[in-house]
């Protein structure tokens, strides 16, 4: 396969590129490096520095190569920021994405995989796993911006063949440490926790201790980024073979609270993590745990890293690597 991949200088996109390249496929990354890093672009990938809304550059790029499909990762992802600056998220995650998809379609590329979010489900009160038929209830503009883009695709099924992937909480790093998370303003629990362990931060804040959960802290379903990357490779092959539109959750179906994650890390790293409780952040939800039975029944994917300790370990090892390179 020859894949056009937007946002490939970012955390998830770079891991997807590695998965594709490791399996012998070709990748051309488009990224404006506004939040991504050149350090994360795999050596064997082609790279074009441009905005996804640059119709002329994107058209020329597609005309110069024969791509089988598009993987779209480019976008802003910080929930709290989206509450403060909603228009930034609707402009980039929705309007620019739609313009990008139309540019691709107008140049003969109408098969795509869209990177969406489990935040679309919002807080689910029932004590059950979230499947793809669960009602959408976005609690923040980030989630709403993704839903609007999904809606555009579903309303244009006669023009596009696509798969939407709703990610649960993505964490960890490539086991070979070829990629990981680089962020100046990280809001991801396991990323921040890793920074505390390597000494880049002195403590971690837990936002909310009054949720209706066993220990009062929010619960999430963490999926290792390399497993998620492999899903994209399998889904790309599925889409090209079946040529059918579909929607899948991406998670393990296991829920861990914020305190579960911190206690697990403290057991590994000898109680290095100091934490304090703070008020809830705007837009955060109580609990998100996936049902992944649909994706397991549709593609040839079996999780390799379904272990919270493994997720934390790879994240910490990556943090140690980038910390050493900055000293």
pLDDT in tens, 122-144: 877 667 899 999 999 998 999 99
Residues 234 and 122 in one domain: yes
> How many CB atoms are closer than 10 A to CB 304?
12
Give the CATH number of the domain where residue 230 resides. 3.40.50.720
Coil/strand/helix, residue 12:
helix
For residue 274, give every residue at least 6 positions away whose Cβ sits within 8 Å of its Cβ, in sequence order, or none.
Answer: 196, 202, 203, 204
The token pair at 302 is 């079996």
Under DSSP, the state recorded for 13 is H
pLDDT at position 102: 98
pLDDT per residue over 46-98, tens digit each?
Answer: 999 999 999 999 999 999 999 999 999 999 888 888 889 999 999 999 999 99
pLDDT at position 44: 96
Cα–Cα distances (Å) from 149 to 95, 176, 255, 280, in that order, read 8, 34, 27, 28
Residues 167 and 267 in one domain: no
pLDDT at position 125: 67
**Residues 204 and 196: beta-carbon distance below 8 Å:** yes
pLDDT at position 137: 92
pLDDT at position 323: 85
**Residues 137 and 123: beta-carbon distance below 8 Å:** yes
| Domain count for the chain | 2
Question: Does residue 261 belong to any structural domain of this protein?
Answer: yes
Residues 22 and 75 in one domain: yes
Residues 65 and 6 in one domain: yes
pTM of this structure: 0.95
Residues 258 and 299 in one domain: yes
Regions of the chain where pLDDT drops below 70: 125-126, 327
For residue 296, give every residue at least 6 positions away whose Cβ sits within 8 Å of its Cβ, in sequence order, or none.
Answer: 302
- Which residues carry out catalysis? 142
Coil/strand/helix, residue 14:
helix
The domain boundary residue, chosen from 234, 250, 266: 250
pLDDT at position 41: 98
Give the CATH number of the domain where residue 278 resides. 3.90.25.10
**Among 27, 246, 235, which residue's Cα sits nearest to residue 18?**
27
Residues 265 and 154 in one domain: no
- Residues of the domain holding 312: 189-219+253-325
pLDDT at position 72: 98
Question: Does residue 194 belong to any structural domain of this protein?
Answer: yes
């Amino acid at each position: 396969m020859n894949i056009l991949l937007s946002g490939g200088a970012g955390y998830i996109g770079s891991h997807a590129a590695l998965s594709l390249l490791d399996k012998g496929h070709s990748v051309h990354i488009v990224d404006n490096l506004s939040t991504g890093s050149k350090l994360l672009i795999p050596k064997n990938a082609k790279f074009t520095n441009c905005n996804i809304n640059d119709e002329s550059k994107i058209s020329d790029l597609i005309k110069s190569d024969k791509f089988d499909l598009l993987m779209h990762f480019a976008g802003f992802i910080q929930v709290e920021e989206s509450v403060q600056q909603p228009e930034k998220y609707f402009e980039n995650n929705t309007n620019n994405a739609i313009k990008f998809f139309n540019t691709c379609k107008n140049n003969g590329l109408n098969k795509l995989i869209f990177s969406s979010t489990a935040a679309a489900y919002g807080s689910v009160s029932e004590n059950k796993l979230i499947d793809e038929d669960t009602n959408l209830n976005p609690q923040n503009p980030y989630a709403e911006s993704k839903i609007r883009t999904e809606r555009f695709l579903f309303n244009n099924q006669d023009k596009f063949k696509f798969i939407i992937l709703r990610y649960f909480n993505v964490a960890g790093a490539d086991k070979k440490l070829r990629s990981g998370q680089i962020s100046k303003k990280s809001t991801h629990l396991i990323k921040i926790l890793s920074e505390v362990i390597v000494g880049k931060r002195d403590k971690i804040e837990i936002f909310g201790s009054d949720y209706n959960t066993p220990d009062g802290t929010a619960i999430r379903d963490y999926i290792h980024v390399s497993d998620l990357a492999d899903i994209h490779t399998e889904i790309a092959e599925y889409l090209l073979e079946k040529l059918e539109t579909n929607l899948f959750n991406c998670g393990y179906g296991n829920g861990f609270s914020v305190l579960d994650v911190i206690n697990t890390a403290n057991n590994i790293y000898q109680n290095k993590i100091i934490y304090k409780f703070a008020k809830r952040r705007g837009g955060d939800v109580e609990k998100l745990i996936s049902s992944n039975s649909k994706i397991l029944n549709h593609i040839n994917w079996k999780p390799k890293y379904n272990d919270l300790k493994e997720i934390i370990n790879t994240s910490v090892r990556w943090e140690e690597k980038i910390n050493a390179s900055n000293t």
